[in-house]
């Protein structure tokens, strides 16, 4: 339970969620429904609280892990689709090792960081977290993913112990670097430690440094150490044959012990007892091993080197009993134990206890899900995988710079992933144009049409509210919003009527077929075309266009005066460009305009009045030009016909 | 590389939970807080009859950018429209009205200045208007209100570019006083528009307190398709969850406990020509008494995966379902009185009694709370 310390808020507080998991909390009291004056002595002391849970995933150390894991995750999903089922295993092992190496890289980063700066406590905690993750993952690799034929796991477990428990190596180095190794206080501990990890070469090396190395006991033990058989999976020796050889060797150890070969040196006796698999001796050396799993592996090394996975559980229980029993086990122990029991669900559950973030459980469940494949009776696995990955992505998308990674993951999570992806993309704040374009790009790559349209609409609205009409039309067109673009087109036209010029003309000219979205927009686009034709001197075509714009009724009524005034120079041009037919159209338009204007009379707005009066001045001129043009056009056409 | 021993023995986990405070600046109780669609703007409304708008600046701080009186009585709720329609909020009040406000931004020489203009006042109600909510954007610009007199009204702005025109479209009489309303956020071709209405009528024998209305495109009517008879205690808040791929709708309800109800549309027999409304299969997905007292508010996060509930026990709780669709509480936040804190700058030292409080005038404080044994991911898989 977390708490906020503020007396005002103690009685009751309300919380509102924003985004994925951030909360806004405010104090609340009963209010009288009839709105009586509430005697509130709370003025000035009411505070709002913004509450966020800070995930380790947002720390600097995790950043690299997140980025690299994404690469591995995606290549794993792709590989599984493309590769033959027979080759799955090598892919999975490779990916597992990639995850492990990125964790190790993180650990190294932290080690370097500790020397410079940073919150020491936080770095230590991160380091421990990563260590645990790698420990668990490497065990999972051995027990689930990289299963060797024959089921003989001790070799792998031994490697696992050796890479995670390095005290014996450190001690050995310390001892051997000293002037008189055999007199070093840690000398024999280093020897025992090496033997317990099956590092026979190291043990022999240290013993050869002893002044008595040439005496019988030392030579004898050296021989035993040298001759200990180690099972090689691809060594060509069958399990049965190995077992025979090994038992033969251990019998030899026992014989030499009983015959008192080492009675002069009790440390060598201890070594020999280890080789004989004497449980009591091995248990007594627990301080060199620290954990029950080291103890377990060392015990198995000297009692049952051909152990198979299904027997691991009871060996684990025995080891646990030696180190203090169930009550002293930690959540980490539970994870390892569950793995040894091959209980995937339990492993994942226990991982959630150990680790405070979803990175590990999400990726590992994904890995295991692919490993188990269809062969499994673990029907829950695909759903669990999806659920954990969605949880992981939820954390990513709450962060302003990790959301893109989240989207990439969602591509591989089925229909739920797609739905979440659409929601997330829609909800990302459109802080600026480039962010909007990025989101649109990602959405259209995934055919999220509604998201693209949605973003464009919001951007269009925003441009409108900032007075950037051209930009608003650009967005409006992309969002296929006819009503909005119509509205904008009207605004632009009305501005033209008042100011006599187009703003954002470049944007308007580049509309292309998009202008067909709404009638008003089409008119605007065509009107721009008219302008272009006129400027190019292409008067005849310009005239045709202008007249068609008038007669097609595309033009809004407030714009007719403008069009008619545009016709004026064309009517007056030296060469007739407007035909008789077209002139009639123009006259008809003028006639309608005149009627409407007189009907509206005093109801017209100020703007309309201004246009109207400007128009009225020109009206006479227009009528004259129209009649003149009509006359000459009739004559011209008449003579052409002839 | 860290030695094996020390790593195994230390199992403490660090979970940071950060709470940042800001002064509310309202003169009286705050009744509602609403985030906009992107979570970067916030509206607060209060018994002081005003609304404040807050914007998140680049430093992640909330800054109040507008504050104005909105009604002649306490403002109960405030809500944002979808940004596709512009920057618009609606408020409802004890003064029996609801109102719609639009932001107008002017860029004078002194920087951007924001004012909110009243576009419309909805005055049809004879009683206090208790809740107001915009419809999902796919239904256009529509608004629903519910009143203490038990009437739900639905308004529409037929021209989304003209916010001055709102016409009342539908009216439903729930017969019991209403406290809250929620639109189903994800209607589609398969699921017709739905509204849930909650009543805080104190009498259990007046029946179920949650009503589900469905809109039929054929008949152009809202019809009550379901009354949740298992909810008989007063309902103070309810909310549909965003639906990200579920085949059913989830409704969170704040009543004497927290309820999560699943409503699954079941297609009627298509041969029946009056089968334009679908029937709903009702299932209780969760009922939780963790608050041990009345629950006043529920709300969902944007993915519809986390529900926040606020109760009389002074706590806010977060609820989440696992992959088996079993709901559990994943987090609890409580307000606490700190004992024996001495105020910075007080004269006269030693008379601090335990239990009486003084708060410093801090505007922002970061609380780093103690590590917990169970992080937010309480294992419940």
Tens digits of residue pLDDT in A450-475? 999 999 999 999 998 888 888 888 89
The residue to which tokens 């701080």 are assigned = B61
- The pLDDT, as a whole number, for residue B353 is 27
Structure confidence at residue A2 as a pLDDT band (50, 70, 90): low
Q: Is the pLDDT of residue A6 over 80?
A: no
Q: How far is A113 from chain B (nearest CA, A)?
A: 13
- The pLDDT, as a whole number, for residue A51 is 85
CA-based nearest residue to A44, from B362, B343, B91: B362
The residue to which tokens 């027999």 are assigned = B269
Q: Is the pLDDT of residue A387 over 60?
A: yes
Q: What is the pLDDT of residues B110-167, one digit of tens each?
A: 777 889 999 999 999 999 999 999 999 989 999 999 999 999 999 999 998 899 999 9
Please indicate if any CB of chain A lies within 8 Å of the CB of B221.
Answer: no
- The pLDDT, as a whole number, for residue B297 is 94
In angstroms, the CA A72 to CA A92 distance is 11
Q: Is the pLDDT of residue A447 over 70?
A: yes
CB contact under 8 A, A17 and B44: no
CA-based nearest residue to A288, from A217, A190, A213: A190
- Measured in residues, chain A has a length of 642
Q: What percent of chain A has pLDDT over 70?
A: 92
Q: Is the pLDDT of residue B97 over 90?
A: yes
Identify whether the C-beta of residue B260 lies closer than 8 Å to the C-beta of residue B319: yes
- The pLDDT, as a whole number, for residue A37 is 52
Q: Is the pLDDT of residue B372 over 50?
A: no
In angstroms, the CA A64 to CA A242 distance is 45
Q: Is the pLDDT of residue B299 over 90?
A: yes
Mark out the alpha helices in A518-579 (DSSP H runs).
519-536, 539-551, 560-571
Residues of A (452-471) whose Cβ lies below 8 Å from B: 454, 457-458, 461-462, 465-466
> Which residue is closest to A121 within chain B, CA to CA?
B14
Q: What percent of chain B has pLDDT over 70?
A: 79
Q: Is the pLDDT of residue A398 over 90?
A: no
- The pLDDT, as a whole number, for residue B326 is 92
Residues of B (264-323) whose Cβ lies below 8 Å from A: 296-297, 299-303, 305-306, 308, 310-312, 314-316, 318, 322-323
CB contact under 8 A, A53 and B381: no
Can you spell out the DSSP letters for A261-278?
TTTT-HHHHHHHHHHTT-
Q: What is the pLDDT of residues A105-159, one digit of tens each?
A: 998 888 887 776 667 777 888 888 889 999 999 999 999 999 888 888 999 999 9
Contacts of A317 (CB under 8 A, 6+ apart): none
CB contact under 8 A, A128 and B2: yes
Q: How far is A46 from chain B (nearest CA, A)?
A: 6
What spatial distance separates the first Cα and last Cα of chain A, rounded to whole Å?
100
Please indicate if any CB of chain B lies within 8 Å of the CB of A160.
Answer: no
Q: What is the pLDDT of residues A290-331, one digit of tens each?
A: 899 999 999 999 999 999 988 999 999 999 998 888 888 888
- The pLDDT, as a whole number, for residue B271 is 53
Q: Is the pLDDT of residue B12 over 80?
A: no
CA-based nearest residue to A441, from A461, A458, A455: A455
Q: Is the pLDDT of residue A429 over 80?
A: yes
Identify whether the C-beta of residue B71 lies closer than 8 Å to the C-beta of residue B49: yes
**CA torsion angle B280 B284 B285 B287 (round to 10):** 150
Please indicate if any CB of chain A lies within 8 Å of the CB of B40.
Answer: yes
DSSP tag of A304: -
* A contacts of B13 (beta carbons < 8 Å): 125, 355-356
CA-based nearest residue to A503, from A536, A463, A537: A463
* A contacts of B332 (beta carbons < 8 Å): 1-2
Q: Is the pLDDT of residue B375 over 80?
A: no
Q: What is the pLDDT of residues A23-32, one digit of tens each?
A: 888 888 766 5
- The pLDDT, as a whole number, for residue B366 is 30
Mean pLDDT value of segment A354-378? 84
In angstroms, the CA A481 to CA A476 distance is 6
Q: Among partner residues A2, A333, A358, which is closest to B377 by beta-carbon distance? A: A358
Q: Helix or strand or coil: residue A301?
A: helix
Structure confidence at residue A546 as a pLDDT band (50, 70, 90): confident
- The pLDDT, as a whole number, for residue A329 is 87
- The pLDDT, as a whole number, for residue A355 is 82
CA-based nearest residue to A316, from A342, A297, A344: A297
Q: What is the pLDDT of residues A600-624, one digit of tens each?
A: 665 555 555 666 666 777 788 888 8
CB contact under 8 A, A17 and B301: yes
In angstroms, the CA A352 to CA A370 distance is 20
Chain mean position to CA A266: 59
Q: Who wins on pLDDT, A67 or A502?
A: A67
Please indicate if any CB of chain A lies within 8 Å of the CB of B199.
Answer: no
- The pLDDT, as a whole number, for residue B189 is 55
Mean pLDDT value of segment B227-240? 95
Task: Give how far Cα A353 sits from Cα of A164, A274, A345, A385, Å.
Answer: 21, 36, 13, 17
- The pLDDT, as a whole number, for residue B199 is 96
Q: Among partner residues B4, B244, B300, which is closest to A165 by beta-carbon distance? A: B4
Q: Is the pLDDT of residue A436 over 70?
A: yes
Sign for the CA dihedral angle at B212, B216, B220, B221 comes to negative
Neighbours of A51 (CB within 10 A): 22
Mean pLDDT value of segment B333-342? 56
In angstroms, the CA A136 to CA A360 distance is 10
Mean pLDDT value of segment A57-69? 87
Least confident residue range of A287-291, A334-338, B1-5, B358-362:
B358-362
Q: Helix or strand or coil: residue A551?
A: helix
Query: Which contiguous run of DSSP H or E holds residue A35?
Result: none
The residue to which tokens 């030899």 are assigned = A252
Q: Is the pLDDT of residue B342 over 70?
A: no
Q: Is the pLDDT of residue A514 over 90?
A: no
In angstroms, the CA A379 to CA B54 distance is 48
Q: Is the pLDDT of residue A35 over 80?
A: no
The residue to which tokens 């024998």 are assigned = B205
Neighbours of A336 (CB within 10 A): 26
* B contacts of A420 (beta carbons < 8 Å): 244-245, 303
Chain mean position to CA B267: 30
> Which residue is closest to A290 within chain B, CA to CA?
B5
| φ, ψ of residue B195 in degrees (nearest 5) | -130, 140
In angstroms, the CA A353 to CA A334 distance is 9
Q: Is the pLDDT of residue A573 over 90?
A: no
Mark out the alpha helices in A141-208 (DSSP H runs).
154-164, 167-177, 187-196, 200-208
Can you spell out the DSSP letters for A335-366?
HHHHHHTT-HHHHHHHHHHH-SSSHHHHHHHH
Q: Is the pLDDT of residue A439 over 90?
A: yes
Mean pLDDT value of segment A190-205? 93
Neighbours of A439 (CB within 10 A): 25
Q: Work out the angle at residue A628's Cα, subtended by the Cα atoms of residues A623 and A631, and round it to the nearest 5 degrees.
A: 125
B127: left (phi over 0), alpha (psi -120 to 50) or beta: beta
Residues of A (617-636) whose Cβ lies below 8 Å from B: none
- The pLDDT, as a whole number, for residue A60 is 79
In angstroms, the CA B129 to CA B70 distance is 14
Structure confidence at residue A373 as a pLDDT band (50, 70, 90): confident
CA-based nearest residue to A139, from A159, A166, A169, A168: A159
In angstroms, the CA A157 to CA B334 distance is 47
Contacts of A234 (CB under 8 A, 6+ apart): none
Instruction: State the complex-level ipTM.
Output: 0.83
Least confident residue range of A264-278, B59-73, B275-289:
B275-289
Least confident residue range of A178-192, A238-252, A514-528, B238-252:
A514-528
- Measured in residues, chain B has a length of 381
Q: Helix or strand or coil: residue A380?
A: coil
Q: How far is B282 from chain A (nearest CA, A)?
A: 23
**CA torsion angle B227 B228 B234 B239 (round to 10):** -100
- The pLDDT, as a whole number, for residue A543 is 85
The residue to which tokens 């068609």 are assigned = A548
DSSP tag of A30: -
In angstroms, the CA A273 to CA A258 distance is 10
CA-based nearest residue to A295, from A263, A322, A257, A261: A322
Q: Helix or strand or coil: residue A171?
A: helix
Average pLDDT, chain B: 81
- The pLDDT, as a whole number, for residue B6 is 24
Average pLDDT, chain A: 86
Q: Who wins on pLDDT, B316 or A557?
A: B316
What spatial distance separates the first Cα and last Cα of chain B, rounded to whole Å?
32
Q: Would you state the structure tokens that stand for residue A79, as one six-digit string?
A: 């590989």
Task: Give how far Cα A486 sits from Cα of A480, A503, B88, Å.
Answer: 11, 16, 21
Q: Is the pLDDT of residue B304 over 50?
A: yes
Mean pLDDT value of segment B74-95? 95
* B contacts of A17 (beta carbons < 8 Å): 299-301, 306, 308
Q: What percent of chain A has pLDDT over 90?
A: 41
In angstroms, the CA A453 to CA A430 distance is 14
Please indicate if any CB of chain A lies within 8 Å of the CB of B42.
Answer: yes
Q: Would you state the structure tokens that stand for residue A148, as one six-digit string?
A: 């060797």
Q: How far is B171 from chain A (nearest CA, A)?
A: 23
* Mutation to test the B interface, candidates A27, A34, A49, most B Cβ within 10 Å: A49
Structure confidence at residue B335 as a pLDDT band (50, 70, 90): confident
């Amino acid at each position: 339970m977390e708490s906020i310390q503020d007396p005002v808020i103690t009685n009751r507080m309300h919380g509102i969620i924003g985004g994925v998991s951030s909360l806004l909390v405010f104090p609340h009291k009963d209010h009288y429904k009839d709105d009586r004056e509430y005697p509130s002595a709370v003025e000035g002391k009411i505070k709002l609280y913004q509450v966020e849970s800070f995930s380790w995933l947002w720390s600097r150390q995790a950043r690299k892990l997140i980025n690299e894991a994404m690469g591995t995750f995606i290549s794993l999903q792709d590989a599984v689709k493309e590769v033959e089922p027979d080759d799955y295993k090598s892919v999975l092992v490779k990916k597992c090792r990639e995850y492990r190496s990125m964790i190790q890289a993180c650990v190294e980063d932290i080690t370097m960081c500790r020397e410079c700066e940073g919150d020491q406590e936080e770095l230590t905690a991160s380091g421990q977290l990563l260590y645990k993750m790698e420990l668990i993952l490497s065990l999972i690799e051995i027990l689930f993913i990289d299963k060797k034929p024959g089921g003989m796991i001790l070799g792998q477990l031994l490697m696992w112990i050796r890479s995670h428990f390095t005290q014996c190596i450190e001690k050995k180095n310390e001892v051997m670097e000293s002037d008189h190794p055999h007199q070093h206080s840690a000398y024999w501990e280093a020897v025992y430690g090496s033997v317990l990890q099956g590092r026979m070469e190291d043990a022999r090396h240290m013993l050869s440094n002893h002044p008595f190395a040439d005496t019988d006991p030392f030579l004898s033990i050296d021989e035993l150490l040298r001759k200990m058989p180690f099972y090689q999976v691809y060594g060509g020796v069958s399990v049965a044959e190995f077992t025979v050889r090994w038992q033969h060797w251990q019998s030899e150890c026992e014989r030499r012990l009983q015959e008192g070969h080492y009675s002069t040196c009790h440390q060598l006796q201890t070594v020999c007892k280890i080789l004989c698999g004497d449980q009591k001796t091995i248990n007594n050396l627990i301080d060199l091993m620290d954990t029950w799993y080291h103890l377990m592996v060392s015990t198995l090394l000297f009692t049952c080197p051909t152990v198979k996975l299904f027997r691991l559980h009871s060996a684990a229980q025995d080891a646990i009993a030696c180190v203090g029993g169930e009550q002293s086990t930690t959540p980490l122990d539970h994870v390892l134990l569950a793995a040894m029991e091959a209980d995937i669900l339990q492993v994942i559950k226990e991982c959630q206890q150990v680790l405070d973030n979803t990175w590990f459980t999400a990726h590992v469940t994904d890995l295991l899900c692919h490993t188990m494949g269809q062969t499994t009776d673990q029907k829950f696995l695909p759903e669990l995988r999806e659920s954990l990955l969605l949880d992981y992505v939820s954390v990513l998308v709450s962060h302003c710079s990790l959301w893109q990674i989240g989207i990439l993951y969602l591509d591989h999570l089925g229909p739920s992933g797609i739905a979440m992806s659409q929601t997330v993309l829609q909800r990302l704040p459109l802080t600026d144009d480039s962010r909007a374009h990025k989101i649109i790009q990602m959405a259209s790559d995934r055919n999220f049409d509604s998201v693209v349209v949605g973003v464009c609409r919001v951007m269009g609205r925003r441009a409108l509210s900032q007075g950037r009409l051209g930009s608003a039309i650009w967005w409006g067109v992309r969002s296929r919003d006819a009503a909005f673009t119509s509205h904008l087109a009207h605004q632009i036209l009305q501005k033209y009527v008042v100011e006599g010029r187009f703003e954002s003309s470049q944007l308007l000219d580049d509309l292309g077929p998009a202008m067909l979205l709404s009638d008003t927009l089409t008119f605007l686009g065509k009107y721009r075309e008219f302008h272009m034709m006129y400027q190019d001197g292409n008067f005849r075509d310009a005239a045709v266009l202008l007249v068609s714009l008038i007669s097609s009724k595309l033009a809004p009524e407030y714009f007719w005066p403008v069009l008619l005034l545009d016709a004026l120079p064309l009517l007056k041009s030296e060469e007739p460009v407007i035909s008789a037919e077209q002139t009639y159209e123009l006259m008809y338009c003028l006639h309608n305009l005149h009627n409407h204007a007189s009907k509206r009379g005093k109801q017209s707005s100020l703007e309309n009045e201004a246009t109207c009066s400007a128009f009225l001045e020109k009206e006479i001129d227009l009528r004259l030009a129209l009649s003149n043009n009509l006359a000459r056009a009739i004559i011209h056409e008449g003579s052409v016909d002839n | 590389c860290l030695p094996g021993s020390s790593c195994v023995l230390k199992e403490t986990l660090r979970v940071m939970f950060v709470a940042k405070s800001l002064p509310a600046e309202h003169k009286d109780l705050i009744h509602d807080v609403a985030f906009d669609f992107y979570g970067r703007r916030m509206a607060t409304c209060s018994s002081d009859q005003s609304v404040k708008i807050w914007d998140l600046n680049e430093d992640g701080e909330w800054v109040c950018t507008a504050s104005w009186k909105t009604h002649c009585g306490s403002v109960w709720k405030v809500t944002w429209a979808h940004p596709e329609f512009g920057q618009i909020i609606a408020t409802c009040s004890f003064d029996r009205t609801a109102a719609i406000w639009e932001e107008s931004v002017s860029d004078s020489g002194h920087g951007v200045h924001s004012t909110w203009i009243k576009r419309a006042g909805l005055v049809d109600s004879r009683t206090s208007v208790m809740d107001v909510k915009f419809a999902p954007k796919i239904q256009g610009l529509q608004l629903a209100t519910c009143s203490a007199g038990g009437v739900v009204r639905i308004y529409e702005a037929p021209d989304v570019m003209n916010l001055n025109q709102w016409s009342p479209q539908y009216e439903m009489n729930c017969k019991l006083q209403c406290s809250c309303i929620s639109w189903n956020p994800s209607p589609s071709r398969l699921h017709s528009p739905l509204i849930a209405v909650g009543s805080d009528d104190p009498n259990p024998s007046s029946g179920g307190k949650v009503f589900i209305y469905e809109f039929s495109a054929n008949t152009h009517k809202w019809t009550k398709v379901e009354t949740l008879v298992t909810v008989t205690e007063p309902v103070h808040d309810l909310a549909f969850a965003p639906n990200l791929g579920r085949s059913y709708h989830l409704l969170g309800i704040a009543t004497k406990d927290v309820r999560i109800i699943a409503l699954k549309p079941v297609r009627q027999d298509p041969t029946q020509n009056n089968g334009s409304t679908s029937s709903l299969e009702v299932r209780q997905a969760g009922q939780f008494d963790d608050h041990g007292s009345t629950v006043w508010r529920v709300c969902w996060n944007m993915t519809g995966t986390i529900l926040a509930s606020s109760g009389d026990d002074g706590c806010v709780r977060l609820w989440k379902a696992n992959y088996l669709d079993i709901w559990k509480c994943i987090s609890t936040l409580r307000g606490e009185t700190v004992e024996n804190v001495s105020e910075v700058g007080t004269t006269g030292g030693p008379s601090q009694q335990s239990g009486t409080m003084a708060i410093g005038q801090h505007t922002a404080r970061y609380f780093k709370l103690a590590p917990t044994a169970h992080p937010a991911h309480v294992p419940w898989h």
